[in-house]
Amino acid sequence: MALQPNFVTCALLALVSCASSLSVASPFVNITPDPELAALRPVAPIEVPPAGAATTEPSLPALVLNFAPDAKDARNAKLHFADVWDRIRAGFSLPRVDAKEATQSEAWYAAHTELVTKILERSRYYLFHIVEEIEQRGMPMELALLPFVESGFDPFALSPAQASGLWQFIPETANKYKLPRNNAFDARRDIIASTAAALDYLTFLHDTFGDWQLALAAYNWGENQVARALERNRAKGLPVDFASLQLPAETRNYVPKLMAVKQIVLSPASFRIALPAVPNLRYFTTVARSAALDLSQAARFAEMKIEEFKILNPAYNYDVINASATMPLIVPVDRARGFEQRLDEFMRKEQARQKLWTVKSGRRAGQRVWNKGNSD
Nearest to 203 by CA among 129, 126, 143: 143
Please pick, among 36, 106, 142, 150, the residue that the annotation labels catalytic.
Answer: 150
Helix (H), strand (E), coil (C) string for the chain:
CCCCCCHHHHHHHHHHHHHCCCCCCCCCCCCCCCHHHCCCCCCCCCCCCCCCCCCCCCCCCCHHHHCCCCCCCCCCCCCCCCEHHHHHHHHCCCCCCCCHHHHHHHHHHHHCHHHHHHHHHHHHHCHHHHHHHHHHHCCCHHHHHHHHHHHCCCCCCECCCCCECCCCECHHHHHHCCCCECCCEEHHHCHHHHHHHHHHHHHHHHHHHCCHHHHHHHHHHCHHHHHHHHHHHHHCCCCCCHHHCCCCHHHHHHHHHHHHHHHHHHCHHHHCCCCCCCECCCCEEEECCCCCEEHHHHHHHCCCCHHHHHHHCCCECCCEECCCCCCCEEEEHHHHHHHHHHHHHHHHHHHHHHHHHHHHCCCCCCCCCCECCECC
Q: How far apart (Å, rounded) are the C-alpha atoms in residues 321 and 300?
A: 15
150 counts as catalytic: yes
Q: How far apart (Å, rounded) are the C-alpha atoms in residues 345 and 291?
A: 11
Sign of CA dihedral 158, 163, 169, 171: positive
Cα distances (Å, whole numbers) of residue 122 to 58, 247, 300, 307: 11, 31, 22, 13
Hey, which residues are catalytic here? 150
